């Protein structure tokens, strides 16, 4: 039962029990939590802490596009913040208002530093590069976490998630692979008693999803016996970087996707029939759902 936080060493030290491995994203994939987290928690704090009150309408549209309805869906909060600010700076309505959108130059330096993109990673970076902007950024991130802890409750996993996890556990090693803070992940999975189906829960403190998969699975499983389940292009990238297969949970069609995995996808994975035409069909459907150009620019 994955009820406690793991270190990177412990994640890397996981010994396979089965020949198959399944990585599973959490927000927006296992749980219907993306909408409430970004609309009710992230967006208000971005507007408040980054002084976007004068353009709050456009800020909200940018936050929702980047984090929910585009190819950047599921991106870690720090690069997602920069993408939101850059998108706002380019928007004609914002330019006409003469609104000043922060550059967040020090946050950009933190992102480029190679430190873990988490609050702890930021604190470590700040120990070497102290700056008022970074102090402010940390307060923003803490405010987001506090809002999530206060607001996000009673969100059960999507239909067919529990059944799928129970099925997977019997024939594959399962690990949660997420950009969400580990404490929040453990709380959500434990709240609904599904943490018992996975061997580990890896959050942002342990690095990126690519790094999670590498630590948990690299060199331990054959390539055609590695599978990542996710709802964002970042999940697909993490899979490809580790030569893993990918099963998409399509945004807006999550329950249908999980039902398909439960009734068909996992069986094909075990039978060696997943790679090729089947996976191509799945990823093609997925790719069409997440554009790169915002609706106000089309």
Q: How far apart are CA 206 and CA 209, in angstroms?
A: 9
Give the span between the Cα atoms of 73 and 80, in whole angstroms: 9
Is CATH 3.40.30.10 the classification given to domain 8-32+156-287? no
With left for phi above 0 and alpha for psi between -120 and 50, is residue 56 left, alpha or beta? alpha
Q: Is the pLDDT of residue 77 over 90?
A: yes
Q: How confident is the model at residue 125 (pLDDT cuts 50, 70, 90)?
A: very high
- pLDDT, tens digit, for every residue of 249-272? 999 999 999 999 999 999 999 999
Chain segment 208-248, per-residue pLDDT in tens: 899 999 999 999 999 899 999 999 999 999 999 999 999 99
Q: Is residue 116 helix, strand or coil?
A: coil
Asked whether the beta carbons of 202 and 176 are under 8 A apart, the reply is: yes
Write down the pTM of the prediction: 0.85
Strands (E), 28-158: none
**Would you say residue 180 has pLDDT above 90?**
no
5 has a pLDDT exceeding 80 = no
Distance CA 186, CA 200 (A): 10
Per-residue confidence (pLDDT) for residue 298, from 0 to 100: 82
The number of beta carbons lying within 10 Å of the beta carbon of residue 150 is 10
In the chain, CATH 3.40.50.1000 covers 8-32+156-287
CA distances from 138 to 50, 114, 207, 260 (A): 12, 17, 18, 40
């Amino acid at each position: 039962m994955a009820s406690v936080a793991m270190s990177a060493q412990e994640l890397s030290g996981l010994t396979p029990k089965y020949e198959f491995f399944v990585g599973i994203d959490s927000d927006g994939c296992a749980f219907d939590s993306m909408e409430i987290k970004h609309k009710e928690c992230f967006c208000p704090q971005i507007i408040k802490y980054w002084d976007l009150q004068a353009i709050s309408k456009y800020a909200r549209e940018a936050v929702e596009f980047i984090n929910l309805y585009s190819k950047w869906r599921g991106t870690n909060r720090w690069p997602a913040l920069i993408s939101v600010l850059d998108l706002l700076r380019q928007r004609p309505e914002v330019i006409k208002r003469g609104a000043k959108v922060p550059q967040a130059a020090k946050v950009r330096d933190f992102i480029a530093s190679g430190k873990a993109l988490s609050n702890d990673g930021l604190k470590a970076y700040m120990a070497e590069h102290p700056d008022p902007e970074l102090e402010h950024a940390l307060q923003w991130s803490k405010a987001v976490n506090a809002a999530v802890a206060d607001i996000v409750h009673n969100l059960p996993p999507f239909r067919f998630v529990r059944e799928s996890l129970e099925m997977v556990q019997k024939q594959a090693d399962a690990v949660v692979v997420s950009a969400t803070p580990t404490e929040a992940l453990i709380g959500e999975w434990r709240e609904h008693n599904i943490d018992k189906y996975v061997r580990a829960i890896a959050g942002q403190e342990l690095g990126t999803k690519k790094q999670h998969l590498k630590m948990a699975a690299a060199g331990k499983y054959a390539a055609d016996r590695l599978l990542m389940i996710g709802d964002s292009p970042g999940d697909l990238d993490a899979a490809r970087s580790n030569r893993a297969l990918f099963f998409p949970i399509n945004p807006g069609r999550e329950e249908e996707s999980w039902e398909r995995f439960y009734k068909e996808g996992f069986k094909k994975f075990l039978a060696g029939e997943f790679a090729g035409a089947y996976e191509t069909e799945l990823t093609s459907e997925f790719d069409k759902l997440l554009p790169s150009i915002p609706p106000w620019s089309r």
